[in-house]
Amino acid sequence: MRADYDALLASQRMSAAQLPYADYAYLRLLFEATRDGGYWNLHWAITDREPNSDAIWAQWRSLRGATPTGITATAECDELSALYAFLARRGGVRNVGLFWPTSNHTVAVWRIASTPRETRIVVPTTQIFLTQSDSFGTRGFDPWKQAKIYEYGRRDIADDARLPPALVAFFLAQNDKYARASGLSLQHMRQLRDGVLDGSLGADQAARQAQAQRDRIASSAIDDRNAYAHFIRDLQTSTRAP
């Protein structure tokens, strides 16, 4: 994550004082977890619901368990972006809001104070209208197309609400497995996971492709190889489940 952070600073021509590493690390972990096909197993579909995360929380609160190959919640792009922006603010990072690059699509944008004007970092919670290689900080959308981006301030769920313990345990376990992997490896695993979640790829097929990808990773990239090992093991386990 540190290497990806340094690359973002360079591409945005910003200093560490302007873009603190702790804020970046939290938002990047949140992005990889909550994006479509990310490791919290959220899945995109057209829902025609309002641009908030209420329905995601409702699905999570009714879910009594989770598996590495099962969807935890289904939501549209604006709902996923609202969830991201809501959790960003609840985690202490300000000025994350919603951006409409087109009339029928939504992503999140992080605004950072800088000179001569603020910096806007696009957070693509889905790959819609983007390539498979577009990720955190993509230049695939121009965030200045929208005159103002307001911080998402809606309270989508009460502070004292509780999620099922088994689901929370799944989320935390997924964080432990994948949070240290590089953005590139997480992107490749996301593509495979998304295929499993939407049914276009079998778990056994995804496991074989993941193994081939892992074999091409240098032995020195321990965190990436470990993340792939968890991913492959979970896919193989799911194919053996009764």
Please give the pLDDT value at position 116. 84
H or E stretch including 166?
helix 165-178
What's the pLDDT band for 22 if we cut at 50, 70, 90? very high
pLDDT average, residue stretch 58-87: 96
Cβ-count burial 170-184 (b if 16+ within 10 Å, e if not): bbeebeebbbbbbbe
Please give the pLDDT value at position 219. 97
Greatest alpha-carbon span in the chain: 60
* Percent residues over pLDDT 90 in the chain: 93
pLDDT average, residue stretch 178-185: 94
pLDDT average, residue stretch 35-59: 98
pLDDT average, residue stretch 130-157: 96
Cβ-count burial 5-18 (b if 16+ within 10 Å, e if not): beebbeebeeeeee
Q: Is 111 helix (H, G, I), strand (E, B) or coil?
A: strand
Spatial CB neighbours of 97, under 8 Å, sequence gap ≥ 6: 85, 108, 109, 111, 149, 150, 151, 152
pLDDT average, residue stretch 197-224: 97
96-121 pLDDT, tens digit per residue, is: 999 999 999 999 999 998 878 899 99
